Chains A and B, each alone.
Chain A
Amino acid sequence: MSTSESAHPVSHPANGKGDHSLAMDCSINEVYYGTAKAVRDTKLPVQKNAITAFIGPSGCGKSTVLRCLNRMNDLIRGFRLEGSVTFQGNDIYGPKVDPVAVRRYIGMVFQQPNPFAISIFNNVAFGLRLNNFKGDRAAKVEHALKSAALWDEVKDKLSQSALALSGGQQQRLCIARAIATEPEVLLLDEPCSALDPVATRQIEELMKELKARFTIAIVTHNLQQAQRVADKTGFLYVDTSEGARTGYLVEFGDTKQIFDEPKAKETQQYIRGEFG
């Protein structure tokens, strides 16, 4: 465990198995929606108990890449992935794999807070019910809400509708709902873009606490946010040379390196705010 921070080569798909510091290894050659190539050449490791951020301009495919990590894209007609995404050394796009089971261990929180129109308690207990959890639900729910830093605000109104909460509270509820089943990895797709600065700050603090227990990958269009929370950062950019818009990974590394001494010209320009 003491060597968990040692450097890993960016592309080294074979070292996933047995390497306890690597939660996932994303090795995307090409992603298609129908005939449109959405993403190409995006290979990066997702370190365990760390926060990996994806940054880049709109349409660069950072959300697509994130959604490849738990097979959410399977819901989109015409989606096709060439390459592999390994989770603890095994390809989640393998022929025997059940996407439903993948999503149970690799949870997701979306851009818009999307609590169900049921009580706060039942929202958090939703995943437990899905998996027919027989133990003490109340304890699990309390634990998840505490982990999401929401318990003190909602403990007296657990039976009230989740829709009555504020946007920031709803998003933390969604995080509580995602972690109640104790997944290994948590994917956050621009989780703060619909929130005000105070709520954003709360979510960021929460992410830093949660990474002790979960592996986190986050898409953000807020550079400062990536700088504040992420351990590793990947910069994606759009290639329009073939007439289509295809995203690809330009650079991946420690967040400090990406922001302080980016290697690629595109990264430098983007970090300096020369284009959005």
Chain B
Amino acid sequence: MTSQAAKAKAEVELDPFVGVDFSNLELSLRRPRTFVSMLFTAITIAMTLCALVPLFSVLLLLLWRGGRKLSIAAFTQLPPVPLEQGGGFGNAILGTVVICALALLISLPFGILSAIHLAQATPDNRLANSVRFVGKVLSGFPSILAGVFAYGVVVMATGGYSAVAGAVALSILMLPTILLTAEDAIRMVPPSMKEAAVGMGATETQTVWMVLLPTAAPRILTGIMLAIARAAGETAPLLFTALFSNYWLIWHGHVKLLQPTASLAVLIYNFAGMPFANQVELAWAAALVLVIMVLITNLIGQSLANRQVQ
């Protein structure tokens, strides 16, 4: 009982019951910080909707203008010559796919292997730090310079425009995206997992191949997909390197990687400026196809990233 009395006394001295007026707990816009919070929320929603306007208007315009010309012929036929009706851009679709695949083949080993080195490097590793810095600079690199570079190195050396030259140009653009996202992905693997492997006597290489890369794989793939999506839409680097062609890249079983090669981006560039209605319509259709291809690549990347979360 004495402790109770002491407690009651202490209560009176230290904190006579004040209580909180319940109106303080009610939602009220008269409270300045609540009002500001509501206002800010409303502004963020409004701005989000505004940001969607250009995106959706471009998509709608593409569907409207490009959708009309979409047909089987567009996917299977070669581009028409001026004043010719019909035709398609099958060779450009194939060209875009092949050039992107070649570019990925070039940039993937460099990107992933150096990402492993970067992720494993200590913070004071000067090689890793400078590579990471260059990677960041390169990711903001004007794409036309990649084209000029590939022109100087590949086109001049091989004596002509080609799919390979285009792929080299695109691989330069893909490399920083793959490198930096893969490094992040590997770094996001919890250190405890790495410790578990090292603690069982795994070598550094075993740790990388058996734990780090499999765990980071979905995120790495997401980065790769984003890199492909970016490269597929590039026009400037291809103008100097792959140029364009009115013929198939693969003809009678021969793959002509050292010939000028058509691509969707360059086809759009060429046809959109022509004074012929048929070509302009084909350019719209090609733009729609390119957007859908990029969209699908992005969706695959997204779903891979979501699988990681589950």
> Across the interface, which residues of B come within 8 angstroms of A117, CB to CB?
none
Are A90 and B33 within 8 A (Cβ)?
no
| Given A88-B20, A96-B27, A97-B27, A1-B33 contact (CB < 8 Å) | no
Q: Which of B8, B14, B27, B31 contacts A4 (CB 8 A)?
A: B8
Cβ of A95 to closest chain B Cβ, rounded Å: 9
How many of chain A's residues have a CB under 8 angstroms from any CB in B?
25
**Contacting residues, chain A, for B7 (C-beta < 8 A):** 4-5, 49, 212
Candidates A2, A105, A132; contact of B20 at CB < 8 Å: A105
Judged by DSSP, the binding face of B is helix
- Interface residues of B, CB < 8 Å — how many? 23
A-contacting residues, B11-35, CB 8 Å? 11-12, 14-15, 17, 19-20, 22, 24-28, 31-34
The residue of chain B having its C-beta at the shortest distance from the C-beta of A214 within the complex is B15
Bound complex: CA of A90 vs CA of B23, how far in Å? 10
CB of B4 closer than 8 Å to a CB of A: yes
For residue A6, which residue of chain B has the nearest CB? B4
Known interface pairs A130-B33, A132-B32, A212-B15. Does A101 touch B8 (Cβ–Cβ under 8 Å)?
Answer: no
Residues of B within 8 A of A92 (CB): 25
Q: Check A49/B24 contact, CB under 8 A, given A2-B5, A130-B33, A131-B33.
A: no
Task: Verify if B274 is at the interface (C-beta below 8 Å from A).
Answer: no
User: Once bound together, how far apart are the Cα atoms of A18 and B20, in whole Å?
Assistant: 12
For the complex formed, measure the closest distance between the CB of B127 and the CB atoms of chain A, giving whole angstroms. Answer: 30
B10 at the interface (CB under 8 A from A): yes
The interface residues of chain B lying within 8 Å CB-to-CB of A102 are 25
B29 to chain A, nearest CB (A): 10
B8 near A105: Cβ-Cβ < 8 Å = no
Task: Produce 1/0 per residue, A75-104, CB < 8 A to B.
Answer: 000000000000111101000111011100
Shortest A99–chain B CB gap in Å is: 9
Bound-state Cα–Cα, A105 to B24, Å: 9
Chain A, 1-27, CB within 8 A of any chain B CB:
1-2, 4-5, 20
A96 to B10, CA, bound (A): 35
Q: With contacts A1-B8, A130-B33, A132-B33 known, is A98 near B25, CB below 8 A?
A: yes
Assess whether A213 is interfacial by the CB under 8 Å rule.
Answer: yes
Closest to A88 in B: B19
Is A213 in contact with B14, judged by CB distance below 8 angstroms? yes
Q: Which of B4, B12, B22, B28 neighbours the largest number of chain A CB atoms within 10 Å of its CB? A: B22
Contact of A101 among B11, B19, B26 (CB under 8 A): B26
Minimum CB–CB distance for B27 against chain A, Å: 4
List A contacts of B22 (CB < 8 A): 88-90
Contact A97 B15, beta carbon cutoff 8 Å: no
State the CA gap A5–B27 with chains docked (Å): 34
Cα of A1 to Cα of B17 in the assembled complex, Å: 9
User: Are B4's CB and A98's CB within 8 A?
Assistant: no
Set of chain A residues within 8 Å of B8, measured between Cβ atoms: 1-2, 4-5
Contact in complex: A101, B24 (CB < 8 Å): yes
Neighbouring A residues of B12 by C-beta, 8 Å: 1
Chain A residues with CB under 8 Å of B14's CB are 212-213
Q: A5 to B4, Cβ gap below 8 A?
A: yes
**A184, B45: Cα distance in complex, Å:** 35
Contact A98 B11 (CB under 8 A): no
Interface string of B269-288 (1 = CB under 8 A from A): 00000000000000000000
Contact of B34 among A1, A5, A100 (CB under 8 A): A100
Nearest CB of chain A from residue B8's CB, rounded to whole Å: 5
Residues of the A chain whose Cβ atoms lie less than 8 Å from the Cβ of B24: 101, 105
- Contact residues in B for A89 (Cβ distance below 8 Å): 22
Closest 4 CB pairs of A and B: A98-B27, A90-B22, A96-B26, A101-B25
Q: What are 21 residue pairs bridging A and B, where the CB atoms are less than 8 Å apart in the complex? A: A1-B11, A1-B12, A2-B5, A4-B11, A20-B17, A87-B20, A87-B25, A88-B20, A89-B22, A92-B25, A96-B26, A97-B26, A101-B31, A102-B25, A131-B33, A132-B32, A184-B20, A212-B10, A212-B11, A212-B15, A213-B14
Q: Which A residues form the contact surface with B (CB < 8 A)?
A: 1-2, 4-5, 20, 48-49, 87-90, 92, 96-98, 100-102, 105, 130-132, 184, 212-213
